[in-house]
Amino acid sequence: MKRTAIRGYGGSGRTFCVVLVLLVSAWTVGCMMKVEEPTAPNLLLITLDTTRRDHCSVYGYERGTTPNLVMLAEQGVRFDLAYAPMSVTGPTHATIFTSLYPIGHGVVKNALKLGLEYQTLAEILAENGYQTAAVVSSFALNGKFGYAQGFEEYDDDFGEAEPIFSDEFWPDHLNEGGLDRRAHHTTRQAIGWLDERRKRNQPFFLFVHYFDPHAPYVPPIPFAELYVDPNDRSDYLQYLTDLYDAEIAFTDWQVGVLLEALDKLSLERNTLVVLVGDHGEGLMQHGYLLHGPNIYEEAVRVPLLVRWPDQIAAGQVLSSPVEMVDLFPTILDLLGIEPPPVPIQGRSLAAALYGDEELDPERPVYLHRRPYKERMLKTLPKYNPQSVDSILVKGQKYAIRVGRWKYIEGAEEGTKELFDLDADPGEGSNLYSKLPEKAAALALQLESWRLSHTPDGLVQVPVSDEDEQRLHALGYVD
């Protein structure tokens, strides 16, 4: 048993020392061999599932949930207005890999397959001499759904993962393992691959996906003890929030272990690190406890950090809006790889990262809610702003942000909302009826964008009953 001090994850300057037994430990990194680095830069892409930007201390959260992300930001660049295109795991990752919005690549919900006709980031890097590998943590990113395109190795086998058990609020999330894995298993697999690949003098692209902040919130006990009083559920939402924050802290700790391995292998100076959230979480801010139907800021505004020592100046903060479609062209630009002659919908941020240009603060951001069959979504009435026990979810929604203004439209639900995010960052005051001309202008711009993107490659995977049960157990329902 190893006694490990967990420091820097408390609030109000608290520190904690706990007994922690995990499969990833310091000796795993310490026994690795250092070898000569290839000349071409490496790429480490880390995605954090279900991670609210405003629950990360790197973005000012009062709890010290993400000291490793703080360190990463200090060593690189922090984006303050980064947006996921949708608050669903699969579609956002498909967007990262293709530089297409969900209505462009067709993956508008989980279990839809990314078409083979789309050239992915991994495929392009493989064609340019990169070793490519991925370690994912959720069945939602199973290779059968097209995310393995271009990867020589795609680790989506969760057979060794322990069962995950939720509390009574998520009875459908009870499972016997095999649907996801905890962060320390993912980190162990990723470090193992790094150690193995160092036998080959090639640049690498390693994609690592962490799933722990996703419901059900069941952090390892040492991290739960940072914030949670197990005997006090009098404020149930606070209890869930405490568990959620503990999951973020645990994930941050594992990101630190992975980055330490990079350092121990003398890879950090020649490795471009991109860390991004795939979406956020509701936590009842607008009546949604979780995320899928939600395209308010808490669900789509995500952490985004970029580090490349000696190439990108450390300590930068970029405050203009960027989108996940931008990552594909940005990465290729930074790595010096010519983009392929395929349609992309993002723009390179490389010049801004190098300090050669400023980003446009008025750039439009486009958001999309996945399609839902009509249903009443269970909520927590005590904490719902409308004090109701369920809310209508029906069809799709679209949204646009331009500068301070955000417009949301749900045709099937009959909703239209306009928010001034400078004056009302929590989106609590709908100005649609007060500013109809502003809403109409944004609605026209949003409709023009939507009509110019024709869904293509929308191929429904023949999902077995077993796979449907797996997705349902992870909380994905129509």
Q: pLDDT tens digits for 403-435?
A: 999 999 988 888 999 999 999 999 999 999 999
Span 1-15, mean pLDDT?
Answer: 51
Residue 478 in domain: no
Are 42 and 205 a contacting pair, CB within 8 Å?
Answer: yes
Q: pLDDT band at residue 477, thresholds of 50, 70 and 90?
A: low
- Characterize 238-263 residue by residue with b for buried, 16 or more Cβ atoms within 10 angstroms of its Cβ, and e for exposed: bbbbbbbbbbbbbbbbbbbbbbbbbe
Span 234-262, mean pLDDT?
Answer: 93
Instruction: Tell which phi-psi region holds residue 292, choosing left (phi > 0), alpha (psi between -120 and 50) or beta.
Output: alpha
CA dihedral 129, 131, 134, 135 (to 10 degrees): -160
Residue 218 in domain: yes
Residue 447 in domain: yes
Domain boundary, last residue among 353, 377, 408? 353
Residue 147 in domain: yes
For residue 4, what pLDDT is reported? 43
Residue 400 in domain: yes
Domain boundary, last residue among 353, 378, 396? 353
Residue 349 in domain: yes
Residue 359 in domain: no
- Residues 324, 372: one domain? no
pLDDT tens track for 209-227: 999 998 888 888 889 889 9
* Per-residue DSSP letter, 405: E
Name every residue whose Cβ is closer than 8 Å to that of residue 341 and which is 6 or more positions away in sequence. none
Q: pLDDT band at residue 91, thresholds of 50, 70 and 90?
A: very high
- Residues 182, 45: one domain? yes
What percent of the chain clears pLDDT 90, i.e. is strictly above it? 57
**In the predicted structure, residue 128 carries a pLDDT above the cut 60:** yes
**In the predicted structure, residue 22 carries a pLDDT above the cut 70:** no
Residue 461 in domain: no
- Residues 262, 153: one domain? yes
251 vs 159, higher pLDDT = 251
**In the predicted structure, residue 358 carries a pLDDT above the cut 70:** yes
- Residues 106, 145: one domain? yes
Domain boundary, last residue among 286, 318, 353? 353
CA distance 325 to 404: 21
Q: pLDDT band at residue 169, thresholds of 50, 70 and 90?
A: very low
- Residues 388, 257: one domain? no
Mean pLDDT of the chain: 84
DSSP, residue by residue, 127-169: HTT-EEEEE--BGGG-GGGTTTTT-SEEE---TTSPP----TT
- Residues 327, 348: one domain? yes
Q: pLDDT band at residue 260, thresholds of 50, 70 and 90?
A: very high
Bridge-partner residues for 275, per DSSP? 46, 305
Label residue 25 exposed, middle or buried (CB < 10 Å: 0-12, 13-18, 19+): middle
Q: pLDDT band at residue 94, thresholds of 50, 70 and 90?
A: very high
CA distance 16 to 18: 6
Phi–psi pair at 83, nearest 5 degrees = -125, 135
- Residues 192, 129: one domain? yes
- Choose from 275-279, 378-382, 446-450 the range with maximum mean pLDDT: 275-279
pLDDT tens track for 150-167: 999 999 987 765 655 545
**Side chain identity, residue 476:** Y
For residue 98, what pLDDT is reported? 96
For residue 25, what pLDDT is reported? 44
Structural domain harbouring 413: 365-454+467-473
The CA-based angle 426-240-249, given to 5 degrees, is 85
- Residues 372, 335: one domain? no
For residue 457, what pLDDT is reported? 42
**For the domain that residue 177 is a member of, what is the CATH number?**
3.40.720.10
The CA-based angle 370-372-374, given to 5 degrees, is 155
Q: How many domains does the chain have?
A: 2
Largest CA-CA distance found in the chain, in angstroms, rounded? 65
**In the predicted structure, residue 78 carries a pLDDT above the cut 60:** yes
- Residues 46, 122: one domain? yes
Q: pLDDT band at residue 102, thresholds of 50, 70 and 90?
A: very high
Q: pLDDT band at residue 174, thresholds of 50, 70 and 90?
A: very low
**In the predicted structure, residue 456 carries a pLDDT above the cut 70:** no
**In the predicted structure, residue 8 carries a pLDDT above the cut 90:** no
Q: How many CA atoms lie within 13 A of 376 on its CB side?
A: 4
